[in-house]
Chain A
């Protein structure tokens, strides 16, 4: 059970498409601009065309009715459906044509065109479409490539209180007469202190250099000791006890018997071999 659960792939993906349909594109006439029919969004594909109209005609007359959209990015038509009413009475037709998700930019001017004798009334053309919400990933948090927006933080200028600027502190920190006197005494002592520090520093420097000198000497001695090699000739002169490894497996009688179980196979191969040889000779 745990193995099944571990190997079960979770296909949790939501459909990024929104599906809808337009109103009647032919409500204002038998020709229409797709820009006025379709919503103004990116990532829109047309998925189907549904139409309905009534044609009035003489049953004996010929008539073809074309429901079509021009190819906005090329020549010809991106969609064209023809109803042949030739030789039959007019009627109302209702039809739906699925379209394989053609992007909106291909769809040019749409129209209902009558070729022959007939008149169209009560025309209705509806386009079904889908919108890919993830064309702009920022439109939906579930889209790939969605970057959560960083909130803009505004910091109001705060007035800060500096306690050191406070009058109370300034008054309290003013020097008194006693402090002035102590200051003068400290200055005199300071001169002696400076000389003493300088002498100390010189002395320490000397001792530090001395240590550095001596450590360098001892380090050299250590390196020399490490690099010292003894007489290596002993290694070159070492002899190994060798010899020969005699064969232990021997064939007692010097004969390799035939495999009794494979006699038939061996015989067949032998016969075949002999046949092949004989073929060379007439």
Chain B
């Protein structure tokens, strides 16, 4: 019991974090392409790869570009990344998400796949 309480202020052994919660879309260097900047922190010891996805309000995928669709983020490290979407899709885009990718054959019996989504459509609902 003491150990469980003592870790309240300690860094979690398996954490997935993405900021900001509300990234701003801004004009990229390419005409008619918008860009958003995000940062992902991986404190999960069991996961090293995260996939990026851009979704609409119904959680349907929207076409986007990024340096990597699947990022390698070693445990305990932070990675900044950008996503690029077409200007015509700006009104449809709602979420940009990062999802932990579990290696086949290495999962525990029942493991947790984490996904954190930030909102791109401006003000909070």
Contact = CB atoms under 8 A, between A and B. Distances in A.
Contacts of A95: 8
B4 A94 contact: yes
A94 B2 contact: no
Interface in B53-88: none
8 contacts: A24-B2, A50-B5, A52-B1, A94-B5, A96-B5, A124-B1, A124-B5, A126-B6
A74 B1 CA distance: 32
Q: Which 10 A-B residue pairings sit nearest by Cβ, starting from the closest?
A: A50-B5, A96-B8, A124-B1, A126-B2, A126-B5, A52-B5, A96-B9, A24-B1, A50-B8, A21-B6
B4 to A, nearest CB: 7
A274 B11 CA distance: 79
Contacts of B2: 21, 23-24, 124, 126
Nearest to A125: B5
Which interface class (under 10, 10 to 19, 20 to 34, 35 or more) fits A?
10 to 19
A51 B1 CA distance: 10
Contacts of B6: 21, 50, 126, 128
A121 to B, nearest CB: 13
Interface string B82-100: 0000000000000000000
A126 B5 CA distance: 8
Given A50-B5, A96-B8, A124-B5, 9 more contacts: A21-B2, A50-B8, A51-B5, A52-B5, A94-B5, A94-B8, A95-B8, A124-B1, A126-B6
Interface string B107-118: 000000000000
A232 to B, nearest CB: 97
B76 to A, nearest CB: 23
A23 B8 CA distance: 16
B4 A52 contact: yes
Interface in A126-180: 126, 128
Contacts of A48: 9
B10 to A, nearest CB: 10
Interface in A55-110: 94-96, 98
A98 B9 CA distance: 10
Interface string B20-35: 0000000000000000
Nearest to A51: B5
Contacts of A52: 1, 4-5
A195 to B, nearest CB: 105
A22 to B, nearest CB: 8
